[in-house]
Amino acid sequence: MLFSSVDALVKRSLLEKGLPIHYYLESLLHTTAAIRELSFDSLQIVNTLSLPINEYNAIDLPGDFVDDVGLSLGTGTILRQLHRNDAINPLRYHDSTAAYVAPPSPSADINGQTFYGLRGLTWFWNINEYGEPTGRYFGARGASDRDGYKVIRERRQIQLSNSVGCDTAVLVYISDGQSIDNATQVDVLAYSTIQAYRNWKSSRNADNERSPEALGFYNQKRHLRARKDEISVTDIIQIVRRSYTAAMKG
């Protein structure tokens, strides 16, 4: 898959139409609007950013964030991916001076004694008179609660666990196309569709969705979705062949 910058698409369009560079801003506006509209269903934009982790292990979400694909910690050339953990507390704790303080440590009261985070001590309850474990430790989890991250949309942040031990994180996320500029990389398969949208919005029929320019854009949009579809002629033949099955003849 090859990519081209928005700047190259705009300048090429001006050359094809024989327009001077004075129309660059108008063409750039329509091009970025086309990418925004296509990002809803036909041309998803996936961005990757290296973001700093603040003093309370949180990451500020990018302005064009829609959904997370993955979050990893940078360790040289290898990324250690974190898992989603919905058990992370979304609240932020502050003292009387509005400074951040660490949340209180979890505790469990076992037989009148307090053990901080040592839930494994309850295993001795399930041992018979021969010293054999009998199981029945319900609620035990296979993954650790001390790892992971949680997207907290009301805070516009990603909260990490307290044991990440890193200053930066690599976020892969789906963009809503609102932060497009002339350096944005665009799939070259979408060039004709973007050009058709630009021709539509720069014409006198910009508000008419039944105009020839609008119909040309929607037709190019169908072409784009067909080009990005990974199904091939061989796949279609196999689908047809799999629909036939042997049957008993009377």
Q: Are 172 and 57 in contact (CB under 8 A)?
A: no
Q: Are 59 and 169 in contact (CB under 8 A)?
A: yes
Tokens of 87: 């058990």
First-residue to last-residue Cα distance in the chain: 53
Kindly give the confidence (pLDDT) of every residue in the chain, 250 residues in length, as a single tens digit, with 9 standing for 90 and above: 578 888 988 999 999 889 999 999 999 999 988 988 888 788 877 788 889 998 888 899 998 888 888 899 876 778 888 888 888 888 877 777 777 666 665 444 444 444 444 455 555 556 777 777 776 666 555 555 567 899 999 889 999 887 677 888 999 888 877 777 777 778 888 999 999 999 999 999 999 999 999 999 999 999 999 888 888 888 888 888 888 877 766 5
Distance CA 217, CA 37 (A): 12
For residue 225, CA distances in Å to 62, 120, 137, 185, 221 come to 28, 54, 52, 18, 6
**Backbone phi, psi, residue 66, to 5°:** -115, -55
Distance CA 76, CA 78 (A): 6
Q: Indicate the pTM of the whole model.
A: 0.57
Distance CA 114, CA 120 (A): 13
Beta bridge partners of 65: 175
Q: Are 220 and 52 in contact (CB under 8 A)?
A: no
DSSP string, 190-240: GHHHHHHHHHHHTSTTTT-TTSHHHHHHHHHHHHHHHHH----HHHHHHHH
Tokens 């990893």 belong to 72
**Domain ranges, ordered by start, for the chain:** 3-39+177-240, 50-61+81-171
Q: Residue 217 has what pLDDT? A: 94
Distance CA 189, CA 44 (A): 13
Tokens of 225: 């979705």
